[in-house]
Amino acid sequence: MLRACMGAWMSHPFILFGRDHLIVLALTFVVPVVLALLTRRSMHAVRGTRLAFAAWLIGAWIFWLWMIFHLGWESPQTLLPMHLCDWATIAAIVTLLWPNQKTYELAYFWCLCGTLLAMVTPDLQYGFPDLRFIIFFAFHAGVIAATLYLTFAAKMRPYMRSIPRVMAWTLFYLAAAGMVNWVFKVNFGFLSAKPTAATMMNALAPWPWYIGEMVPIGIALILVFYAPFFIWDRAKAGRPD
């Protein structure tokens, strides 16, 4: 049944910055802001929304695994949670269930520096209503929206001390992904090859040189997404008592 549905829906190709893509991108930012405005004055409402986001992400992951087994797509590439977005999702789920600074800052930077870029130029062939389109954005948009909600409603934020910790964990991820790629002949983190679809990585040098280029780009993105908090702290420090 699922194969028949997917076969009927796959004829719609994914259009970069098409209507469906732009709607998802907009909702990714609008939904957490609206939810934060509606719930931030009530601790019970914030907690309930946190748990709803956690349930959404866990449910999306369960549905993805069910789809893999139902369609016979089992492989190390599809089953192992070794994409950076997988690690961002795990960090977000942990923070949603048990709010803490260290997993929040990982979710914040990994989502905005990695998952957001994956959403802007996704490695997709088919658009809505193909199930792969739906599950891709359920994960990616969901984890970004959840992290932004934690920032706006739960009033969590990164600090200067967060940056070296996030960089260290990111290097650990790259080492782990590289090892898994070597053992299973897969391509987590796009360390073994660029995505097959047109993405921002097309502008980088050929393999393996683009791996070195991703390091300064990642550092620059971390600094960019920390900048609003840095500016806020400096402005606050300069205010007269």
More confident residue, 197 or 7: 197
pLDDT of residue 131: 86
Count the neighbouring beta carbons within 10 Å of the beta carbon of residue 115. Answer: 26
Count the neighbouring beta carbons within 10 Å of the beta carbon of residue 226. Answer: 21
pLDDT of residue 17: 93
Mean pLDDT of 226-233: 95
44-58, 119-133, 159-173, 210-224: the lowest-pLDDT one: 119-133
121 membership: H or E segment, kind and range: none
Which ranges of the chain does DSSP label H, i.e. alpha helix? 2-9, 19-39, 43-71, 76-79, 84-97, 101-110, 116-120, 131-152, 162-184, 209-237
User: Is residue 117 over pLDDT 80?
Assistant: yes
Q: Which two tokens stand for residue 38?
A: 């509606």
What pTM was estimated for this model as a whole?
Answer: 0.92
Closest to 98 measured CA to CA, from 41, 166, 154:
154
Closest to 139 measured CA to CA, from 161, 159, 111, 175:
111
C-alpha to C-alpha distance for 96 and 142, rounded to whole angstroms: 12
C-alpha to C-alpha distance for 78 and 199, rounded to whole angstroms: 20
C-alpha to C-alpha distance for 46 and 66, rounded to whole angstroms: 30
Q: Which two tokens stand for residue 235?
A: 């402005």
The terminus-to-terminus CA distance of the chain in angstroms comes to 67
Structure confidence by residue, pLDDT tens digits, 66-101:
999 998 999 999 999 999 999 999 999 999 999 999
How far CA 3 is from CA of 14, 62, 68, 72, in Å, comes to: 19, 18, 11, 10
User: Is residue 123 over pLDDT 90?
Assistant: no
